[in-house]
Amino acid sequence: MANNINKKILAKKDMNFFAEFTASAEKTARMLTYAILGGVGVVAIIVMFIVIGVINNIIIKSQIAAVEAKLASDQYATVEADAELLAKTYENKNNYYYSLTQMKKNVDETPAVPMELPDLIAKNIPSDSWIESYTITGDTLEFTGYSFTYYSAVDMVNMLNDSDVFTSKPIITIGRVTAPDVGAVDEIINTEDNSINSINNYYSFDVEGTLVKSVYVSVARYLDGETISSLGGIETLEKDAGETYEIKDITTYTDETGATYTLSRITIDGVDVDEESFTNIVNANSISKVAATNSDINLYYTSDAAATESSTTQS
């Protein structure tokens, strides 16, 4: 009896155990199933991301292909070469323009004869005088003549100077014409033809002087550096001698592309302007001078873009 009871108890225990075991196994299996399903889900998501990534890559590759095709098109293919060619062309043209303006400057600075001067001379000859010869160049006037009084030559120069003919003191030479020079005879009455030698003393004169003329001031702008290049052409200004002139807005220069440059140094007739004068010029933003002789003013600039680039590199 007791054995039967024990067997029942044992059987019950076994059944409980299996029941528990089965329940546990089911739970484990369920959990594992969830885990696998979760894992598959994660894989699906990953696959989805991969697919999205692949699609994105395909899209961006097509974009790249489109841009590459654009770059390979005629419109873009030659842009850099064109830019290089245009830059070279511009440089050549700029040099050519500079040389043409230099030619023009050379011609402008060559003095021409003031064609109103022959008339002026003719109107200012004293009545007792006559001009034997005159020579006018772009710079000088020389004339010779004769008069019965020794004042006539200086009178004539004075009248010419009223019209600002000579720029400085002319050289005036007056001398009595000696008798042998004019074929004077010993006797007052020529017995051969009964003519009377009644000629008076008279005087020769020679006047030579420098003419008042225009003064030419040329202004050229250069980009300073290892090699100097021109910024535009040479500007030539015509001024009256003694006239005060002013060249304004020189501290900075903006070219036609909008690039800006800053004045770094100045030479006048090939000589560097000293530091103090340069500072004064920069402060006044102009050069002011009296036109005395032809003058070449060279303004040297540095590129603002290059300066900025340099400072950026250093920092």
Partner 1 sequence: MNNLTTRQKAGMYVFILAIIIIAGIIFGIKGNNTKYKEYQAQLDTLNQQVAYLDQLMAQNDTTTQEISTLDEQISDIELSFIDSLDTECIEQYVMKTMEDAGSPYLSSISAEDIDCPAITYADGTTSPDSLQCLRIKVIYSSTDGYNVTQYNTNPDMTATAETDPMDTLHQQMSLIGSEEYSTRVGYDEFLAALNTISKANPTCIKISSVSTEDTAGFLTMSASIDFYGTYLTNRVSTDDSTAAYTSWKGDTNVNTDSGFIGFPYIVTDPNSPWFHVKNADPDCVAYIDRPFTPYWANALYSKTVSGPDGLDAITGVTSAYTAGGIATPTPAATDDGTTTTDGATDLTDTTETSETTAAE
Residues between 112 and 131 that touch partner 1 (CB under 8 A): 112-113, 115, 118-119, 130-131
With CB under 8 A as the contact rule, which of the stretches 83-91, 152-160, 180-188, 304-312 interacts with partner 1?
83-91
For residue 30, state whether it binds partner 1 (rule: CB under 8 A): no
Q: Shortest approach of partner 1 to residue 2 CB, angstroms?
A: 38
Of 9, 47, 182, 185, the one binding partner 1 by CB under 8 A: 47
Shortest CB 24 distance to partner 1, Å: 11
Per CB under 8 A, the segment of 78-86, 166-174, 183-191, 289-297 that binds partner 1 is 78-86
Identify which of residues 97 and 278 has a Cβ nearer to partner 1 in the complex: 97
- Establish if 35 lies at the interface with partner 1 (CB under 8 A): yes
User: Pseudo-torsion of CA 102, 107, 108, 114, nearest 10°?
Assistant: 170
**Site membership for partner 1, residue 36 (CB under 8 A):** yes
User: Contacts with partner 1 in 202-241 (CB under 8 A)?
Assistant: 220, 222, 227-230, 233
Least Å from the CB of residue 198 to partner 1: 21
If you compute the radius of gyration of the chain from its CA atoms, what whole number of angstroms results? Answer: 52
State yes or no: residue 64 binds partner 1 (CB under 8 A).
yes
Q: How far apart are alpha carbons 187 and 101 in whole angstroms?
A: 69
Question: Whose structure tokens read 């043209």?
Answer: 93
What is the smallest separation between the CB atom of 284 and partner 1, expressed in angstroms?
A: 26
Q: Which of 10, 15, 29, 290 is the binder for partner 1 (CB under 8 A)?
A: 29
- Cα(53)–Cα(58) distance, rounded to whole angstroms? 8
Looking only at residues 240 through 259 of this chain, which bind partner 1 when binding is defined by CB under 8 A? 256-257
Interaction pattern, residues 169-208, with partner 1; x per rule: CB under 8 A:
----------------------------------------
Q: CA-to-CA distance for 200 and 182, rounded, in angstroms? A: 11
Q: Find residue 246's DSSP bridge partners.
A: 288
- Bridge partners (DSSP) of residue 287 are 247
Contact indicator for 145, 129 with CB cutoff of 8 Å? yes
User: Closest approach of Cβ 260 to partner 1, in Å?
Assistant: 15
From the CB of 174, what's the least distance to partner 1, in Å? 18
Q: Which of 3, 110, 168, 191 binds partner 1 (CB under 8 A)?
A: 110
Q: Which amino acid is at 230?
A: S
Q: Is 178 helix (H, G, I), strand (E, B) or coil?
A: coil
For residues 286 and 19, what is the distance between their CA atoms, to the nearest angstrom? 110
Q: How far apart are CA 261 and CA 203, in angstroms?
A: 65
Q: Is 89 in the site for partner 1 (CB under 8 A)?
A: yes
> What's the CA gap between 265 and 287, in Å, rounded?
12
Q: Cβ of 226: how many Cβ atoms within 10 Å?
A: 4
Backbone torsions φ then ψ of 74, nearest 5 degrees: -60, -35
Query: SS3 of 142, please?
Result: strand
Q: Please give the angle made by the CA atoms of 112, 118 and 124, to the nearest 5 degrees.
A: 135
Is position 260 an interface residue for partner 1 (rule: CB under 8 A)? no
Q: 113, 172 in Cβ contact below 8 A? A: no
72 or 179: whose CB is closer to partner 1? 72
Instruction: Output 65 or 290, the one with its CB closest to partner 1.
Output: 65
Contact region for partner 1 (CB under 8 A) — 34-42, 147-155, 168-176, 264-272? 34-42
